[in-house]
Structure 1
Amino acid sequence: MADKQWIVRSAELTDVAELLRIYTPYVEKTAITFEYDVPSIDEFTQRVKTIQQRYPYLVCESSEGEIVGYAYASTYKGRTAYDWTVETSIYMDQSLKGRGGGSVLYHALEEQLKKQNVYVLLACITAGNAESVGFHGKFAYREVAYFPNLGYKNGEWLDVLWMQKELQPIQGSPNPFIPNEFVGG
């Protein structure tokens, strides 16, 4: 998928160093992720490989070929009854936020997930992250759960909220979930 400024494609293992460069400030300086330590290249590579077996892992590039962000879906719960529900995540280069790349990326992620017969999207957000709450609200996510004092990072207890979106109408039995590898993701 592309627009004038942004190109979205599947992540490749050769992208991992750039993805980790984007993720590192979120770990080190924010409570957007509850991870305390920046993962190693090997650990991050394994995460990408594992996710891509089942779900899309997409990158957004500028027209000059610079990776400016990434988004992916992951397992919500490991039980079969949850196959049609995923957790979504997005990380953008902090110096390039607000320029539309995240929206292009999330639209592409949703289109891929529709092809996989995913019905429900969930986003787990640190409650004080108004930017993420607003971004997800723009995509028709709505708050469905709020958990006070759920995590501790950077010297404070943090609240967590879950936002949910129905990607497709939920009626009767769902079509079978199709893993990423079978939809050309």
Structure 2
Amino acid sequence: MKIRVATPQDAEAIAAIYAPIVTDTTISFELEPPSVEEMRGRIVSTLERLPWLVGEDDTGAVKGYVYAGRHRERPAYQWSVDVTAYVRADARGQGVGKRLYERLFDELMRLGYCQAFAGIALPNAASVALHECVGFKPLGIYRNVGFKMSAWRDVGWWQRELHTPVEPATPRAFRASDFT
């Protein structure tokens, strides 16, 4: 699988992976799938500061994607990120998410980030297994935090230490041209 930086041209494939997760599951707390244009805007906005990566199959089709987002707004949180991974339905269980996360973590460490957090709508055994496989540890659960598909839903939170320098420098902005 080839892993590369997402581009605005990937928005259609990414939206297609994400749409059934929004409409058919409680995994995402969005109620309506974002349009291709909205997804394109999310990719562009994320890449201004943080990585968004895609994995391609042998035909060049997007198999899955991962990205990082700000964890919180306050300045003392600047070394922490929230991360997200989604894999195309026919590519699940093949290590796609694991390989994408490993590359994302390498990039986040290179940029100077120290902690990664993941929120997982529960139940979701596959996502829990993926996150724990790549080093996340459970933190706790927000109970009844979201209402979707006629019921209150919980979100579990996991944390993965990337690295912890004694005196951290301000994280650098992601630049697609630096990604190899």
Q: How would you bin the TM-score normalised by the shorter chain?
A: over 0.9
Give the Cα–Cα distance (whole angstroms) in 1 for the partners of residues 61 and 36 of structure 2: 19
Give the Cα–Cα distance (whole angstroms) in 1 for the partners of residues 84 and 71 of structure 2: 12
The residue type paired with residue 132 of structure 2 is G
Give the Cα–Cα distance (whole angstroms) in 1 for the partners of residues 46 and 30 of structure 2: 18
Q: Which of the numbers 71, 76, 82 marks the counterpart of 1:76?
A: 71
The residue type paired with residue 100 of structure 1 is G
Give the Cα–Cα distance (whole angstroms) in 2 for the partners of residues 124 and 183 of structure 1: 29
**Alpha-carbon shift at residue 175 of structure 1 (Å):** 2.4
Q: Which of the numbers 76, 82, 88 marks the counterpart of 1:87?
A: 82
Hey, what does 2:170 align to over in structure 1?
Answer: 176
Contact (CA 8 Å) 2:9, 2:40: kept in 1 or not?
no
Hey, what does 1:3 align to over in structure 2?
Answer: none
Hey, what does 1:9 align to over in structure 2?
Answer: 4
**Alpha-carbon shift at residue 140 of structure 1 (Å):** 1.3
**Structure 2 runs not aligned, ≥5 long:** none
**Alpha-carbon shift at residue 57 of structure 1 (Å):** 0.3
TM-score (norm 2): 0.95
Contact (CA 8 Å) 1:115, 1:183: kept in 2 or not?
no
**Alpha-carbon shift at residue 31 of structure 1 (Å):** 0.8
4+ runs of 1 displaced by more than 3 Å?
none
1:16-95 aligned within 5 A: 16-95=11-90
TM-score (norm 1): 0.93
> What secondary structure sits across from 1:121 in the alignment?
strand
Contact (CA 8 Å) 2:79, 2:112: kept in 1 or not?
yes
Q: How many residues align?
A: 179
The 1:71/1:182 distance shift into structure 2, 3 A limit, reads: closer
Give the Cα–Cα distance (whole angstroms) in 2 for the partners of residues 154 and 113 of structure 1: 34
Provide the aligned C-alpha RMSD in A: 1.3
Give the Cα–Cα distance (whole angstroms) in 2 for the partners of residues 21 and 182 of structure 1: 23
**Structure 1 runs not aligned, ≥5 long:** 1-5
> What secondary structure sits across from 2:28 in the alignment?
coil
The 1:15/1:183 distance shift into structure 2, 3 A limit, reads: closer
